[in-house]
Chains A and B, each alone.
Chain A
Amino acid sequence: MIENGPLLERLLEGEYICSVTDEHSFHKLQNDELVDDLNHFLRPLNRRVAKNDDGSVYFLAYCDLNQNARQHLSQQFTSTVQSLLPMLEWMQLVQEALGRDGALSLGDTIKLQDFESKVVDNQSLIQRLAHLANDKVFKSSSDKPDMQIKQVFKRIKELGYLHQPHKDRLFFIVTGKVEQLIELVRFIKDEENLPIDDEIPEQEVMF
């Protein structure tokens, strides 16, 4: 258990562990026995190791949803919901600027320079960026696209959706927390019966 101290500490600090943020620990967490051991330790702290639907990211959840826990969840959920639209718009912006037709997913890499050169080439992307950067989630006061981009990415990194492997290089990797966010979006859509029809056909059965 001693050797898992650092991992436990990171989890306790509220970090999300995925193959991007810490591949080694991520693989360790795939071992159910280890997770049982960790859970045993975490029990008095009212926490357990949880993972998202497709097992691409691990984090801590509350065991017992007491008043205190619910209060924290409420705060957290409110702030997540408040930043939901800006986050979605950011994902769209990156996706469109980089000419991808799939959503940003775990492990996708973004070179800030590439992104910036694509954005400044396109008036409508510049406007969308400016709108996004002004949002209270990102709080950029600059009117220069390069500063806005830096601020937005800095904030998203702080929120844990991006990982920056080298401090001095503006090169980011999308973390598993993005997948968790998408799951939340899907959940809200289903739960609130939002009229955003799913026209995508059911995944075809192959073979």
Chain B
Amino acid sequence: MSQAPKQKSTAQSNPLFALGKERLELIGKHADALMQGYLDGHINESVFSQQALQKLLESRVLDYPDEQTLSLRPIVNELIASLTQDERKRQINSDVGEHLDQIHTRVQSLQAARQKGDYAASEHHLQLLTERVNDMTGQFGDAIESLWHRLNTEFGFVSSLDDKILEIELAQRQLRRILDGFGIINFDDLIQLAGSDGSLRKLLVSQLQARISEHSGSLLEVQKRLVLLMSRFRQQQDKALLINRMSAFLRQHPNFQVGDYPNRSQVPTVVNQAHGISAQAFIALDRAQDSYALAELARAVPREPEQDAKSERKTEGFTMALQNLVATQQKQLAKDVEDFFIQVIESPQALSGVDYLAEQELPWEPEMWLFQIVAEYQGLPEQNKQSFMLEKDSAQKSRFNQLHIIQDVTVGMRFFGDFQAAG
């Protein structure tokens, strides 16, 4: 792991604190150029001033792997990859042996310091040891997290299925290495190493064991999912190939005849698909208990204007009959009025509507009758209207308003009137 940026220190007075802070800030200051370099794979020297370049090189952020190319140091690359979960570049470091060696050394130093009674030194060694153990489990954690992340995005960082399959194979090898790493950790050794020291036992045995078993469980799940994903990708590839080849074949052989599978003695299951039947049901009134529900349904049927006309025709009930009746009466009334006008034409003098009504013993109410005569007169074509003379015999109903009530109308032929006047 990185020395400069990652070194932790609680004491701000520690010289490392200032240096580390300075370097992290340096990275932040040049973030744009460094990220550009991360994505391009090499750094464009010209974007930095000579001084800044020198500083970045000294701070171990950049280096020249060969004389021409300037690039990010691998550890910085890895830092960015890990911070951004960039799976294309994220590395998995599962070198457990190295960690275990260092743990052994630390424990020995710690025990030596304790024997000497050097409290400060043993405290320091314990801190380093704790960090070392955390580093190791943290590394596993990171690796597993990276695997999960790749799985959950279905290796979306590469586009083609071929690449995805290669990535899965890579992930499977990484997973295998992590499992191998777990295998190297020998808890019997660690128990012996910790001896009777409670804090060491907790650190090296119980905590570590819990973490490792948690990681193992997670890894098993990853393993299962990788296998599933791999078979899915392969199936997809396989299907795409099948589709391409079959369609090419069918295009080349337009007269290709497929076997008559449905009429073989053994019908293949893949063609056995029953045709659809739709079960229809209708309104039935033969069960008394349903009548209420059906009535509810009938009431709930939304009525649209055009449906109204239809449903009335269907339910030829009393409304219709009433309407018919009114229509017939209306016709009769119109016909009687017509007869009245004919009578007027034939009569030598003007006729009173009310008198005619009484004479003929017609069943109409005088008001309705008079109204119809006036309506008929108004409805005549202008030319014909001029042939008739209509006089309304009306009286003001009350002095306080302009309401006139027509009590009678007298209709006569105009020429007759004119003639009469002339005579």
A residues sitting closer than 8 Å to B (CB atoms) are 9, 12-15, 45-47, 50, 52, 59-62, 65, 69-70, 72-77, 81, 84-85, 88-89, 91-92, 95, 99, 101-103, 105, 180, 182-189, 191-192, 194-196, 198-200, 203, 206-207
Contacts and interface: CB of A to CB of B under 8 A. Distances in A.
A59 B273 contact: yes
A90 B172 CA distance: 35
A182 B273 contact: no
Nearest to B262: A73
A57 B335 CA distance: 76
Interface of B: 159-162, 172, 223, 227, 230-231, 233-234, 236-251, 258-263, 267-279
Contacts of B268: 187, 191
Given A62-B274, A103-B239, A180-B270, 12 more contacts: A12-B279, A14-B277, A50-B273, A70-B267, A73-B262, A74-B260, A75-B275, A101-B161, A105-B236, A191-B268, A199-B241, A200-B237
Nearest to B162: A101
Given A59-B273, A62-B272, A184-B271, A101 B243 contact: no
Q: Interface majority SS on B: helix, strand, loop or mixed?
A: helix
A182 B239 contact: yes
Q: Closest 9 interchain pairs by CB?
A: A14-B276, A102-B236, A73-B262, A103-B239, A196-B245, A88-B247, A103-B240, A61-B272, A60-B274
Given A76-B273, A102-B237, A206-B230, A92 B244 contact: yes
Given A73-B272, A74-B260, A192-B259, A92 B243 contact: yes
Contacts of B278: 12-13
With most chain A CB atoms within 10 A of its CB, the pick from B161, B223, B237, B238 is: B238
Nearest to A52: B270
Given A65-B267, A73-B267, A180-B270, A200 B259 contact: no
B233 A102 contact: yes
A89 B247 contact: yes
Contact of A70 (B161, B233, B241, B262): B262
Contacts of B269: 50, 61
A25 B102 CA distance: 58
16 contacts: A45-B277, A50-B272, A70-B262, A70-B263, A73-B267, A73-B272, A84-B250, A101-B237, A103-B240, A103-B242, A182-B243, A196-B246, A200-B241, A203-B231, A203-B234, A207-B172
